[in-house]
C-alpha cells in the first residue's frame, strides 16, 4: 500500500507530524522534492526535531528513508540530521540517496545573496533555486558524482569556470577552488556515500512487492514551481502531479493521497495571500499557533482558511482523503471565518487565479461560523469535539467534496484522531 502526504497550502501544514505518525508501519519513507528549505516538525519519543532533509522514516528501525532525484541535497545538513537522529535513537537510520539527486554547494547559497534573489523572493536562502537552475542548465553536481571524484572534479572545474566568468568582481567566487570544494564534500559525506544508489529501482521494487511505502511531500501545493503562485514559489514540483517524475516511476499506484491543511492559512516569504489578516488577530493566530519558520525562524503571515485555494490544491493532487491540523489554535475565537470565493474586480469567482498579479487583486468573500470556547487539545475521540468544530469540518467536507479522515489538535502524535 502506498500513501502520499501532500501539503495543500503554502507549506508548514503539519506534514512532518502526519508522516512521522503514519511512517511507523512503513517499509519505506520517500522524500520526493525540495531540499533543506523544508522544515518538518516531528515529536519522537517526546523529543522535538525540526528536520530539513531526512525523511520521517529515519525514526523507525525497519524503515528505509529514501531521498530521490527530485530533491536537492545539502550533504552537510543531511549529515548533521543523520548524526542527530542516530544519537537520539542509539542506532543509525537506513538511508538510500538517489545517485541522480543534485548537491547544493556553498556557491549556490552565495548566489542567492549575490543576485539578491533571496531577498526579493523571501527565500529560505538554502541555495534551492540556484541548484535546480544548475540542474536544468546541465552544470549541476550529482550525489553519484562523488563516488567518482575524478568526474566530480571535472564537473566542478567546468562549473567554477562559468561562475568566475559571470562574477569577475566577486572575491568570494574568484577564491573558490574545485579541489577544496570537493574535499569538503567528500569529508562531510563520507559515512553517507554507502547509501548512494538507485532510488527509483528500489522504490519500484518495494511497490511491486506491495510493501507499505510512504511519500513525504515538502512545501505546499501553492508553492509548486508550475502550478503555484509563480514567481512566488519554490523551485520544485510539490504536488502529486510531479511525484512520478521525481521518483522515476511512471504512473505510480498511490492509493492514498492524503492532503494536509491547517484550519487557517500561513505563508512565509513574499507573494500574494488573499485571506491574510493583520494586527491583533494575526498576532493571536501566530502566537497560539507558534507560527515561526522551522528553517529560518521568520514569523509566518497568518490568515483565515481559504477554500478557493484548498479546492485548487485538492484537484492538483487528486486527494483521496484529507487531514486537518491545528484546529486547537482556533479555540476561544467567538467566530471563525472561511473564504469560499474571491471578489475579483467586482465579480465573485470560485477558482484560484494562476497569475500572482491577479491573485493580489482578489478580495476574500467570507462565511462566518460560530467559534467554540473549549480547549480541545486533550480530546482524543472525534465524538468528544464541540459541535461547532464538527460543523466546521462538515462545512469544509461538503465544499471540497473529499473526506477529512484525520483531525489533529496538537503537535504531539497522540493529539491526532482518525475520523473514519
Ligand atoms: P510541515 O512543514 O508541514 O511539516 O509543518 P511545520 O513543522 O513547519 O509546522 C507545523 C507546526 O505546527 C509545527 O510546529 C508542529 O509541531 C505544529 N503542529 C502540527 N500539528 C498541530 C496541531 O494540530 N496543533 C498544534 N497546535 N500544532 C500543530
Ligand atoms: P515545508 O516543507 C513554508 C517558501 C519560502 C519562500 C519560497 C521560495 O516546511 O512546508 P525557496 O528557499 O524554496 O527558494 O523559497 O518558498 N518555502 C516554504 N514555506 N514551508 C516550506 O517548507 C517552504 N519551503 C520554501 O519561504 O517564500
Ligand atoms: Mg515546515
Across residues 339-351, what is the average pLDDT? 98
Ligand 3 centroid distance, CA of 178 (Å): 33
Q: Rounded to the nearest 5 degrees, what angle is found at the Cα of 41, between the Cα atoms of 51 and 24?
A: 85
Q: Which residues face 31 on adjacent strands?
A: 67, 216
Residues with CB under 5 A from ligand 3 (ion): 12, 39, 294
Specify the 3-state DSSP secondary structure of 105. coil
User: Kind of pairing, strands 102-103 and 196-197?
Assistant: unpaired
Which atom of ligand 1 lies nearest, measured to the CA of 48?
16
Across residues 318-346, what is the average pLDDT? 98
The C-alpha cell that represents 400 in the structure block: 471540497
Q: Is the shortest distance between the CB of 268 and ligand 1 below 6 Å? A: no
Closest CA to 219 of 353, 126, 154: 126
Across residues 20-35, what is the average pLDDT? 96
Rounded CA gap, 128 and 110, in Å? 11
The pLDDT value given to residue 26: 97
Strands in 321-325's sheet, in edge-to-edge order, are 196-197, 94-98, 64-67, 28-31, 213-216, 2-7, 256-262, 321-325, 404-408, 416-418
Confidence of residue 296 (pLDDT cuts 50, 70, 90): confident
pLDDT tens per residue across span 255-289: 999 999 999 999 999 999 999 999 999 999 999 99
Compute the CA torsion angle 360, 363, 367, 369 (nearest 10 deg): 60
pLDDT above 90: residue 135: yes
Q: Is the shortest distance between the CB of 36 and ligand 1 below 6 Å? A: no
Q: Look up residue 298 and give its DSSP letter.
A: P
pLDDT tens per residue across span 36-78: 999 999 999 999 999 999 999 999 999 999 999 999 999 999 9
Q: Is the shortest distance between the CB of 408 and ligand 1 below 6 Å? A: yes
Q: Is the shortest distance between the CB of 234 and ligand 2 below 6 Å? A: yes
Q: Is the shortest distance between the CB of 7 and ligand 2 below 6 Å? A: yes
Q: Is the shortest distance between the CB of 7 and ligand 1 below 6 Å? A: yes
The C-alpha cell that represents 314 in the structure block: 485538492
Whether residue 29 contacts residue 3, with contact meaning beta carbons closer than 8 Å, is answered with no
- For ligand 2, atom 23, the nearest C-alpha belongs to 219
Q: Is the shortest distance between the CB of 219 and ligand 2 below 6 Å? A: yes
The C-alpha cell that represents 39 in the structure block: 522544515
Closest CA to 70 of 241, 207, 210: 241
Whether residue 127 contacts residue 105, with contact meaning beta carbons closer than 8 Å, is answered with yes
Alpha-helical (H) ranges within 97-177 are 106-115, 117-121, 128-136, 149-166, 171-174
The pLDDT value given to residue 148: 97
Q: Is the shortest distance between the CB of 121 and ligand 2 below 6 Å? A: yes
Q: Is the shortest distance between the CB of 95 and ligand 2 below 6 Å? A: no
Across residues 362-382, what is the average pLDDT? 98
Question: Is there a catalytic annotation at residue 12?
Answer: yes
Which atom of ligand 1 lies nearest, measured to the CA of 42?
16
Ligand 1 centroid distance, CA of 197 (Å): 32
Whether residue 63 contacts residue 57, with contact meaning beta carbons closer than 8 Å, is answered with yes
Backbone dihedral angles phi then psi of residue 219, each to the nearest 5 degrees: 60, -165
pLDDT above 80: residue 420: no
Ligand 3 centroid distance, CA of 40 (Å): 5
The pLDDT value given to residue 419: 87
- Of 40, 52, 102, 108, which is the active-site residue? 40
Question: Is there a catalytic annotation at residue 256?
Answer: no
- Of 12, 110, 224, 328, which is the active-site residue? 12
Confidence of residue 195 (pLDDT cuts 50, 70, 90): very high
The pLDDT value given to residue 294: 87
Closest ligand to C-alpha of residue 220 is: 2
Ligand 3 centroid distance, CA of 16 (Å): 8
Rounded CA gap, 211 and 201, in Å? 14
Rounded CA gap, 215 and 254, in Å? 9
pLDDT above 90: residue 295: no
Closest ligand to C-alpha of residue 219 is: 2
Which atom of ligand 2 lies nearest, measured to the CA of 123?
15
Ligand 2 centroid distance, CA of 228 (Å): 12
Amino acid at each position: 500500500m502506498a500513501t502520499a502526504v501532500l501539503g495543500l497550502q503554502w507549506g508548514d501544514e503539519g506534514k512532518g507530524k502526519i508522516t512521522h505518525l503514519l511512517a511507523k508501519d512503513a517499509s519505506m519513507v520517500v522524500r520526493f522534492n525540495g531540499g533543506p528549505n523544508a522544515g518538518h516538525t516531528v515529536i519522537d519519543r517526546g523529543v522535538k526535531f525540526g528536520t530539513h532533509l531526512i525523511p520521517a522514516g529515519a525514526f523507525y528501525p525497519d524503515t528505509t528513508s529514501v531521498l530521490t532525484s527530485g530533491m536537492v541535497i545539502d550533504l552537510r545538513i543531511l549529515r548533521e540530521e543523520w548524526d542527530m537522529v542516530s544519537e537520539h535513537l542509539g542506532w543509525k537510520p537506513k538511508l538510500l540517496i538517489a545517485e541522480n539527486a543534485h548537491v547544493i554547494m556553498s556557491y549556490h547559497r552565495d548566489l542567492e545573496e549575490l543576485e539578491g534573489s533571496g531577498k526579493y523572493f523571501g527565500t529560505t536562502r538554502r541555495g534551492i533555486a540556484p541548484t535546480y537552475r544548475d540542474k536544468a542548465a546541465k552544470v549541476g553536481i550529482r550525489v553519484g558524482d562523488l563516488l567518482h571524484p575524478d568526474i566530480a572534479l571535472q564537473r566542478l572545474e567546468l562549473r567554477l569556470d562559468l561562475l568566475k566568468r559571470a562574477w569577475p568582481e566577486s572575491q568570494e567566487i574568484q577564491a573558490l577552488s574545485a579541489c577544496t570544494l570537493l574535499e569538503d564534500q567528500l569529508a562531510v559525506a563520507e559515512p553517507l556515500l554507502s547509501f548512494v544508489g538507485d532510488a527509483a529501482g528500489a522504490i519500484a521494487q518495494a511497490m511491486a512487492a506491495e510493501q507499505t511505502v510512504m511519500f513525504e511531500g515538502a512545501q505546499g501545493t501553492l508553492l509548486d514551481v508550475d502550478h503555484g503562485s509563480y514567481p512566488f514559489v519554490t523551485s520544485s514540483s510539490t504536488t502529486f502531479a510531479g511525484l512520478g517524475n521525481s521518483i522515476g516511476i511512471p504512473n505510480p499506484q498511490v492509493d492514498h493521497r492524503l492532503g494536509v491543511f491547517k484550519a487557517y492559512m500561513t505563508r512565509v516569504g513574499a507573494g500574494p495571500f488573499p485571506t491574510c489578516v493583520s494586527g491583533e488577530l494575526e498576532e493571536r493566530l501566530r502566537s497560539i499557533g507558534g507560527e515561526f519558520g522551522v528553517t529560518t525562524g521568520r514569523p509566518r503571515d497568518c490568515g483565515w482558511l481559504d477554500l478557493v485555494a484548498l479546492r485548487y490544491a485538492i484537484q492538483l493532487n487528486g486527494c483521496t482523503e484529507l487531514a486537518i491540523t491545528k484546529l486547537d489554535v482556533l479555540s476561544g475565537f467567538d467566530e471563525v471565518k472561511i473564504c469560499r470565493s474571491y471578489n475579483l474586480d467586482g465579480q465573485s469567482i470560485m477558482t484560484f487565479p494562476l497569475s500572482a498579479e491577479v491573485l493580489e487583486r482578489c478580495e476574500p468573500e467570507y462565511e462566518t461560523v460560530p467559534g467554540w470556547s473549549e480547549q480541545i487539545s486533550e480530546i482524543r475521540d472525534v465524538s468528544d469535539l464541540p459541535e461547532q468544530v464538527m460543523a466546521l469540518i462538515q462545512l469544509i467536507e461538503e465544499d471540497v467534496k473529499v473526506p477529512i479522515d484525520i483531525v489533529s489538535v496538537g503537535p504531539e502524535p497522540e493529539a491526532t484522531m482518525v475520523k473514519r
